[in-house]
């Protein structure tokens, strides 16, 4: 069915949904169901995509806003050995609903997930994108089993920051965090700046934060989260990743909305994790 403003493009046998609207343009990958680009009219892309991202469906896409579910980070417990950041970055997705007008576009997508996996997890997921001059990304999880289930997730957005050495996150000042590089709990002094490998889970439950860059401020709002993850691999760790272009770490910063601690969902209970960003 043709959708207004939306065209499909194909490369490397993968499908991408390209939305060209008077207020913005955007690109969503069918593989991973993730946003790759969001450009408000007249602006530069808010998102960063690695120049050497692998887009052929053989591994999660390095950039845009990958969706992590039903856990954040390495798999543990009964799922040990399963993929880092869960399953849905590696699945194909399909459009379930699409609505548009001259002001906005809303798309609801679901992963094409086997009955076996749904049964094993006892959870179902979909994502809703709402675009205008901002974009909101919503991961909706429901417990479809008759037992209590635990879920974690993250919206792992890679922001285009032009120059990481002149980028900061002022609102996180004073916030406690787990430093995954140093392996200890810390408290943030002043705005977050990045000049080395940074992998931190900030225990920040407030809604609003922002990324200040030399030429613009990216406004971010979170809902349903227990943490904000800040990640930049820096030079050496990026060089060890085949899909991370060598100078990419200088112009990106991941600021992720996360449920990193896991929440319990009673049968039929639903939860939403949301990130919204704009200039």
**Closest distance to ligand BG6 from the beta carbon of 233 (Å):** 7
Cα–Cα dist 15/269, whole Å: 33
Our CB check for ligand BG6 shows the closer of 138 and 256 to be 256
Is 102 part of the annotated catalytic residue set?
A: no
**Closest distance to ligand BG6 from the beta carbon of 231 (Å):** 4
Long-range contacts of 247-252 (CB under 8 A, 24+ apart): 248/48, 248/50, 248/51, 248/52, 249/164, 250/163, 250/164, 250/165, 251/48, 251/160, 251/161, 251/162, 251/163, 251/164, 252/48, 252/63, 252/158, 252/159, 252/160, 252/161, 252/164
Our CB check for ligand BG6 shows the closer of 40 and 60 to be 60
Q: What share of the chain is helix, strand, coil (3-state, %, to 5)?
A: 10, 50, 40
Q: Are 129 and 107 in contact (CB under 8 A)?
A: yes
Residues near 121 by Cβ (< 8 Å), separated by ≥ 6?
70, 149
Is 119 part of the annotated catalytic residue set?
A: no
Our CB check for ligand BG6 shows the closer of 51 and 94 to be 51
Phi, psi of 176 (to 5 degrees): -80, 150
Our CB check for ligand BG6 shows the closer of 16 and 234 to be 234
Our CB check for ligand BG6 shows the closer of 245 and 256 to be 256
* Residues of the shown chain interacting with ligand BG6 in the complex, contacts defined by CB under 6 A: 60, 84-85, 156, 180, 199, 229, 231, 256
**Closest distance to ligand BG6 from the beta carbon of 40 (Å):** 25
Of the residues 21, 171, 225, 256, only one is catalytic, namely 256
Of the residues 156, 171, 222, 225, only one is catalytic, namely 156
**Closest distance to ligand BG6 from the beta carbon of 247 (Å):** 18
Our CB check for ligand BG6 shows the closer of 60 and 122 to be 60
**Closest distance to ligand BG6 from the beta carbon of 229 (Å):** 5
Half-sphere exposure in the Cβ direction for 262 (13 Å, CA): 14
Cα–Cα dist 249/247, whole Å: 6
Cα–Cα dist 64/155, whole Å: 10
Residue 273 Cα distances to 21, 25, 62, 240, angstroms: 26, 23, 21, 31
**Closest distance to ligand BG6 from the beta carbon of 158 (Å):** 9
Annotated active-site positions, please?
156, 256
């Amino acid at each position: 069915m043709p959708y207004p403003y939306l065209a499909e493009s194909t490369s490397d046998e993968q499908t991408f949904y390209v939305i060209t609207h008077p207020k913005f343009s955007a690109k969503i990958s069918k593989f991973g169901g993730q946003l790759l680009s969001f450009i408000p009219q007249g602006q530069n892309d808010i998102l960063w995509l690695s120049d050497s991202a692998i887009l052929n469906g053989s591994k999660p896409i390095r950039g845009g806003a990958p969706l992590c579910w039903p856990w954040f980070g390495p798999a543990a417990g009964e799922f040990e050995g399963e993929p880092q950041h869960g399953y849905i970055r590696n699945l194909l997705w399909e459009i379930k609903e699409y609505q548009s007008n001259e002001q906005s576009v809303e798309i609801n997508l679901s992963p094409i997930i086997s009955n076996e996996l749904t049964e094993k997890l006892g959870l179902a997921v979909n994502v809703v994108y709402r675009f205008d001059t901002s974009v909101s990304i919503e991961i909706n999880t429901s417990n479809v089993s008759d037992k209590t289930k635990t879920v974690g997730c993250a919206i792992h957005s890679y922001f285009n920051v032009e120059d990481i050495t002149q980028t900061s996150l002022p609102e996180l000042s004073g916030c406690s965090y787990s430093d995954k590089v140093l392996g200890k709990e810390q408290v943030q002094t002043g705005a977050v700046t990045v000049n080395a490998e940074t992998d931190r889970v900030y225990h920040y439950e407030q809604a609003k934060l922002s990324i200040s860059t030399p030429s613009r401020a990216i406004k971010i709002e979170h809902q349903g989260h227990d943490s904000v993850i800040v990640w930049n691999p820096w030079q050496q760790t990026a060089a060890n990743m085949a899909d991370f272009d060598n100078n990419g770490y200088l112009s990106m910063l991941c600021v992720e909305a996360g449920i990193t601690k896991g929440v319990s969902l009673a049968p039929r209970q639903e939860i939403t994790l949301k990130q919204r960003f704009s200039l």
